[in-house]
Structure 1
């Protein structure tokens, strides 16, 4: 909205939150196979997992049950930003880019990339 010339103070007073979502495929239970952590199929970005999460990486091959896609259905991965007093101040200041993301994470927001990585580690979807 700033790009359209809307006053940052007006935005901070009017905005209650922001929701972003993506649909990702759930691994087909009929053709999904576990992949070794050291497998060349494991993307290097996924290989650097956060914390001590237990990991179940999967690879799909496609079958009749999933019509060759490797995924049985879709699931929503949300990113929800709830605007609080601190975020209102950051927005009103006009310095939105990095400081807003930092303030949102400090407020407990889990960004979409982190949520997607967690779902990959839990074996719900693949990194590809």
Structure 2
């Protein structure tokens, strides 16, 4: 079952009830990250025991502009960009970043197309416990990261290292996690 967007208690209840009767339910919920979607459902009045028993996972996604393949070229990162890149593991930290100067193919913007950055929170027993105790989004995120979840920012850093997007794009769509 696809639910367009969960904005209120009634829609949230319908999605949970459908899930509990054996249906696979997909929906959208506007939050900053995957962990915040869990706490938003609790804020909408869903009982923790119902949410923890019906939730399989939460995917957060953002679109960033893709560097133009025609005019994109490597350059040294600015000081602010270097600060962002320092968050990446040393072995995957790029020495340069790719950016476009603008050409006819990208209408002088330096970007052409979009690429997604993703974060997948897999709901395991530890996350279920966090939900049942009404843990905040930071605690849920910390638990998920400890179990191997890659944050939106981390996926964005990989896209920068691959030359797909720019640091400014990743900064635009992600928030720094307090982990």
Q: Secondary structure at the match of 1:52?
A: helix
What is the rounded CA distance, in whole Å, between the counterparts of 2:71 and 2:83 in structure 1? 24
Please state if 1:22 is matched with 2:62: yes
**Higher normalized helix content (fraction of residues):** 2
Aligned equivalent of 2:92, options 53, 78, 84: 53
Q: How does 1:33-44 map to 2 (within 5 A)?
A: 33-37=73-77, 40=78, 43-44=81-82
RMSD of aligned Cα (Å): 1.8
What is the TM-score with the length of structure 1 in the denominator? 0.86
User: Is the contact made by 2:85 and 2:93 (CA closer than 8 Å) also made in structure 1?
Assistant: no
What is the TM-score with the length of structure 2 in the denominator? 0.64
What is the rounded CA distance, in whole Å, between the counterparts of 1:20 and 1:97 in structure 2? 13
What is the rounded CA distance, in whole Å, between the counterparts of 1:72 and 1:47 in structure 2? 23
Q: Structure 1: any 5+ residue segments left out of the alignment?
A: none
User: Is the contact made by 2:52 and 2:131 (CA closer than 8 Å) also made in structure 1?
Assistant: yes
For residues 66 and 84 of structure 1, do their structure 2 counterparts lie closer, same or farther at Cα, with a shift above 3 Å needed? same
Q: Structure 2: any 5+ residue segments left out of the alignment?
A: 1-40, 169-179
User: Is the contact made by 1:9 and 1:93 (CA closer than 8 Å) also made in structure 2?
Assistant: no
For residues 109 and 36 of structure 1, do their structure 2 counterparts lie closer, same or farther at Cα, with a shift above 3 Å needed? same
